[in-house]
A and B are shown apart, each in its own frame.
Chain A
Amino acid sequence: MGETLIKVEGMSKKFCRSLKKSLWYGMQDMGSELLGKRHGKDGVLREHEFWALKDIDFEVKRGECLGLIGHNGAGKTTLLRMLNGLIKPDQGRIEMHGRVGALIALGAGFNPILTGRENVYVNAAVLGMSKQHVDKKIDEIIDFAEIEDFIDAPVQTYSSGMNVRLGFAVSAILLEPDILFLDEVLAVGDLSFILKCLNAVRELTNNAAVVFVSHNMQQISNFCTRVMVMDHGRVLADNQDPSKGIDKYYGLIKNEQTSLELGKAEVLSVELIVNNRELEDEEPTIPYGAELDFRIRLHIKESSAGANLYVNVMDGARSVVITMPIIDAAGDLNLLPNGIVEIQLSMGAIELAAGKYSLNIALTDSANKEILANDFGLCPFRITAEKVYWSKLVRHVIPKKIDILTQTV
């Protein structure tokens, strides 16, 4: 790891909730700037102001990639704007060493009337690149964007995907930064282009100090050597181990229990048993691969001929990852009688990807299929793993056999 390129010390920033006040404060701030006074009134909050960022301290070295994660409004983009020198800090100090490049506003300066080729030159000039430099790289840019046939057509005839591809290509091919900012840039385009972008970004990040903002934990775990979790303008955690930071972020996602109050059955309790030990924590963190059991206690009040039980595991976005119809040895749905029932399910070694999960438990009447109870968000838990994968189910596979047919050196 190389020298420190980004250094932020005790940095804070105020924002204003009221537009009218904000404009007026803008006038005041311009006045004090022109009189040579310090910006931000020495940290006093004026009416309607709040701390958008407070007491931020961190450093990023060359070769390091810092992932910034947090909910919307946590201050990630504001922090990037400040590092980029767009707005002044109200307190503290920011020091940047070297050339700064940002993959943020792709295609800045594009004019819809002009052709793709002309816009490449405009965009490059905005990024501070000379015409000679672009002349050398223009073919590479067009190639990367995959729009040879349209490069001399006006940009207003482009699809939004083509627009993004061209904008990305200009930045990715031309920038040679010491410090690189990435803000949700890989969220657009089709899959094959995203993969190509990932490779291009990887190349850019190799020798730079990188700050990477994304809500995609798979990308964060893929790129970042370090993760900073932000919440309400403060740094909640700064982890050298990205998986710990990602787990912290998942912990910020509120779990909400909801239930169809049908009154015909009730989930009394759900307990987690990990590696044969009962867990007491409210939202436990479980390492990938642990032996996982659920102990569920139900009160079935009004089923006509017994109830069938379904247990589903849902991810943080509430989509179902695993469905478990509960069956007997013969393969038929289990018939649970009216009364209080306790049931223990073994999931074996848990193969879920790192993330946040909860249970959905449904009971239906075995005779007329009427829903007796349906509860969401039960027993929230988090899985941590070294790496976050694209899929929700991760199975490490040892091959049955490997034959090396020919070997090249």
Chain B
Amino acid sequence: MSKPNITVYTPDSMLANPIVLIKEMIRDLLDSRELAWRLTVRDLSAQYRQSFLGFLWAIIIPLANTLIWVFLSSSGVVNVGDTPLPYPIYVFTGTMLWAILIEALNSPLQMAMASKSMLAKINFPREALLLAGIYKTMFNGLIKVVLVLAALLWMGIYPGWNILLFPVALASLILVGTVIGLMLTPVGLLYTDVGKAIPLLAQFLMYLSPVVFMMPKEGIYSTIFQANPLTALITTARAWLTGLVPELLGNFLIVNAIAVVLLMMFLIVFRLTMPILIERMGN
């Protein structure tokens, strides 16, 4: 027979035994790789098989957003300030990168919500849901990046050797998005208010980040933009993509370091709260 593994369930908090907690978490993370891959393949193939435009949807929405902002700026309805790049390029790269971040942010709660009945009935490594969400975001993100690169080259903007650093920026966009999403997931699974508030929050954050606007040079808004951790992510990613010099590299590194620590913490929170959430979700 298989190894005699003993599982014990008690009312005690899993934090009471941190070594066991961490061991089991690592084991589950390793065990969840195959399931995460299956879920990714399942969701992506189902998504694209039932759609006529398929992969194009990964770019249609950011593209439409770009057109709207180009129109708003060229018609003088809004004044976006001087951008270091031609405005269409600035807003196109900005919305694409932003879309990747937001997809990563939405993914933990979305995956958990979509798997509610599975969570309620089957004991499987739930970390697989998070991992599958990350895989999907990566896949859709790569499609976006390829398109952006093609557009940049076509418009005569060459990223240079910095492009080799861009995967780091892409990973950190997904990392930070996932961390924020993971923080919202436990409460979001109990109260639907969280899920409803996320799009609002995302939109608000977008206007406080250099996505479609130029970063203000002075005043209160300059402070807010500076304080916004997403600012460093977007500017650095955009810089490496378009051959500019990244201005906020220090902030970028700090934000990522904090995000890694938060990721660890909230992975543990996710694990600790899951049985309680499943109980409150019902069958």
Contacts and interface: CB of A to CB of B under 8 A. Distances in A.
21 contacts: A23-B191, A26-B190, A30-B186, A32-B13, A33-B273, A34-B272, A38-B11, A86-B120, A95-B7, A95-B9, A96-B6, A96-B8, A97-B4, A98-B4, A100-B7, A114-B42, A125-B34, A126-B35, A126-B38, A176-B2, A178-B2
A22 interface: yes
The 5 closest A-B pairs by CB, nearest first: A105-B121, A125-B38, A26-B280, A36-B15, A39-B11
Contacts of A114: 42, 45-46, 49
Q: How large is the interface on A (under 10, 10 to 19, 20 to 34, 35 or more residues)?
A: 35 or more
Contacts of B45: 113-114, 118
Interface of B: 1-2, 4-16, 31, 34-35, 37-39, 42-43, 45-46, 49-50, 117-124, 186-187, 190-191, 269, 272-273, 275-280, 283
A121 interface: yes
Contacts of A25: 280
B15 A34 contact: yes
A97 B276 CA distance: 23
Contacts of B187: 27
Contact of A86 (B7, B14, B123): B123
Contacts of A86: 119-123, 275, 278-279
A284 B245 CA distance: 91
A52 to B, nearest CB: 10
Nearest to B191: A23
A63 interface: no
Contacts of B4: 97-98
Contacts of B190: 23, 26-27
B1 A36 contact: no
B118 A95 contact: no
A18 B50 CA distance: 40
Contacts of A125: 34-35, 37-39
B205 to A, nearest CB: 25
A365 B219 CA distance: 102
A85 B15 CA distance: 17
B46 A34 contact: no
A113 B280 contact: no
Contacts of A87: 275-276, 278-279
A214 interface: no
B8 A95 contact: yes
Given A26-B190, A91-B11, A122-B39, 8 more contacts: A26-B277, A27-B187, A30-B186, A30-B273, A30-B276, A36-B13, A39-B276, A87-B278
A33 B15 contact: yes
Nearest to B49: A113
Interface in A103-130: 104-105, 108-109, 111, 113-114, 118, 121-122, 125-128, 130
Contact of A111 (B2, B12, B42, B280): B42
Nearest to B277: A26
A88 B9 contact: yes
Given A26-B277, A36-B13, A109 B118 contact: yes
A36 B16 contact: yes
Contact of B275 (A34, A88, A95): A88
Contacts of B123: 84-86, 100, 102
B122 A105 contact: yes
Nearest to A8: B9
A95 B4 CA distance: 12
Given A105-B121, A122-B39, A99 B49 contact: no
A33 B14 contact: yes
A37 interface: yes
Contacts of A34: 13, 15, 269, 272-273
B2 A98 contact: yes
A103 to B, nearest CB: 11
Contact of A104 (B5, B34, B49, B121): B121
B82 to A, nearest CB: 47
A99 B43 CA distance: 28
A108 B45 CA distance: 18
Contacts of A36: 13, 15-16
B12 to A, nearest CB: 6
A89 B10 contact: yes
Nearest to B48: A113
B182 to A, nearest CB: 14
A39 B12 contact: yes
> Among the interface residues A37, A87, A108, which one has the most CB atoms of the partner chain B within 10 A?
A87
B112 to A, nearest CB: 14
A93 B10 contact: yes
Contacts of B14: 33
A109 B42 contact: yes
Contacts of B12: 38-39
A104 B35 contact: no
A278 to B, nearest CB: 49
A109 B7 contact: no
A128 B124 CA distance: 7
Given A22-B280, A125-B38, A126-B124, A85 B9 contact: yes
A126 B9 contact: no
Contacts of A92: 10-11
A266 interface: no
A126 B12 CA distance: 27
